[in-house]
Amino acid sequence: MFETEASCREFGHLCPAYFVSESFTETTTGRNRSRNISNSTIIRVARRDNNTCQISGKILLDREIEIDHIIPYSRGGTSDEANLRVTCLECNRKKGKKIEL
């Protein structure tokens, strides 16, 4: 977990507060599989995708980034980096539980 401004600088930008706070989680009581996405995974995916929505191509500020499961978690997708991508809020909400490759 990245707890200081200095540790975020290695990624070429300052991290917003939500990246340096507790791990992001999408868990729901009663589920057996984990949907936790660590801060370091979020940062790596954002860096890999150049803070750009992978659906619309819009360049995003750190605070605008949504992390999307390409194959939705509800349809058996994992929270591995290979199944995650950066999207904007609008595109992520439009996609919902659909599979769009």
Judge whether 101 lies within some domain: no
Tokens for 7, please give them: 């540790």
pTM over 0.75: no
Judge whether 100 lies within some domain: no
Judge whether 69 lies within some domain: yes
Domain of 62, CATH number, reads 3.40.1800
Domain limits for position 11: 5-25+34-95
Judge whether 16 lies within some domain: yes
**60 contact partners, CB below 8 Å, separation of at least 6:** 51, 52, 53, 86, 88
- What mean pLDDT comes out for the span 1-19? 48
Per-residue pLDDT tens for 63-100?
999 999 999 988 899 999 999 999 999 999 998 767 76
Lowest mean pLDDT among 50-54, 58-62, 94-98: 94-98
Quote the number of domains for the chain.
Answer: 1
Q: Say if CB 7 and CB 24 are below 8 A apart.
A: no
Judge whether 73 lies within some domain: yes
In this predicted structure, the answer to whether residue 31 has a pLDDT above a threshold of 50 is no
